[in-house]
């Protein structure tokens, strides 16, 4: 629920792009680590 609230407060396109890049980065990091 906290994540949804954060998205509501900061729902700018720039933030969404940064968030998407962060998700991809974390996914690649865990994939390369395993």
Condensed to tens digits (0 to 9), the pLDDT of residues 1-34 reads 777 777 676 667 777 888 899 999 999 999 999 8
State the Cα–Cα distance between residues 11 and 26, nearest whole angstrom. 21
pTM, full prediction: 0.51
The Cα 14–Cα 20 span in angstroms is 10
Instruction: Look at the block and give the residue holding tokens 């900061």.
Output: 10
pLDDT of residue 21: 94
- Calpha distance 14→30 (Å, rounded): 25
Residue 29's SS3 state is helix
Q: Please name the residue that has the structure tokens 């968030």.
A: 19
């Amino acid at each position: 629920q906290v994540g949804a609230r954060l998205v509501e407060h900061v729902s700018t396109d720039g933030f969404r792009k940064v968030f998407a890049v962060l998700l991809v980065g974390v996914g690649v990091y865990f994939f390369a680590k395993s």
